[in-house]
Amino acid sequence: MAGYIRPILALTSILALTACGDSRLFSSWTDEAGAFLDTGSFGNSTMNNTQIQNGEKSYLVDLNQRFSQEVESTVTFDFNSATLDSAAQATLQRQASWIRQFPEVRFRVYGHTDLVGSNAYNKRLGQRRANAVVNYLSRFGVSRSRLEALVSFGENQPVIFTENPERQNRRTVTEVSGFVQSHPTVLNGKYAEVIFREYVQSATELVPEGAGSLQ
């Protein structure tokens, strides 16, 4: 047994000396577990394909996160009102522009209220707010078949817990809810078509107006 231990100790000493000579070498061997993280995205492609085939990766989640990052997903309302003010209309126009880029995707609008009033009344008010948003989005080129205003949380999911009137609670939230036909995956190419379309558009040179006309 001693004959095996001596070579192991010798190898350990060599590694320790090497690490002392250059702390950048073998840092994952000498540091505690979890201290070294691969930040080079090595293996992400294989991991992504495995998750897709196993059904672990949800493009609905990915698209919804992107939607909420690129446009404001929430609009707010005056007290006891389902009328869209100018700020709400401007936000919804940006939402409509984003939604039109993804004709494969369906969206759902959730209506909310503050905690003032009865739960039954607030559910109806939340539904009216969701309906108002869907109606407005449909005016800007979004098909009603891709918009849903069926669920109202009423007063059950406030942003700020207060019995007083609170504008942040009087809101609608637009979210990705599904795909128009069937759930696309990379394997059947549906989602890849979306990405490819964006890639081509991003690389297409825009010709200035009048550049092609003869003087």
| CATH code, domain carrying 147 | 3.30.1330.60
Rg of the chain over CA atoms, in angstroms?
27
Would you say residue 214 lies in a domain?
Answer: no
Would you say residue 64 lies in a domain?
Answer: yes
Number of structural domains found in the chain: 1
Would you say residue 33 lies in a domain?
Answer: no
Would you say residue 20 lies in a domain?
Answer: no
Residue-level pLDDT at 195:
61
Would you say residue 111 lies in a domain?
Answer: yes
- 104 by Cβ neighbours in 10 Å (0-12 / 13-18 / 19+) ranks as middle
Would you say residue 131 lies in a domain?
Answer: yes
Residue-level pLDDT at 24:
44
CB contact set of 87 (below 8 Å; sequence gap of 6+) = 75
Low-confidence ranges of the chain (pLDDT < 50): 5, 9, 11, 14-15, 17-28, 39, 182-187, 213-215
Residue-level pLDDT at 184:
47
Residue-level pLDDT at 58:
62
Contact at 8 Å (CB) between 155 and 122?
A: yes
Give the global pTM.
0.60
Would you say residue 207 lies in a domain?
Answer: no
Residue-level pLDDT at 154:
75
Would you say residue 77 lies in a domain?
Answer: yes
What is the domain range of residue 169?
58-197
CB contact set of 104 (below 8 Å; sequence gap of 6+) = 179, 180, 181, 184, 190, 194
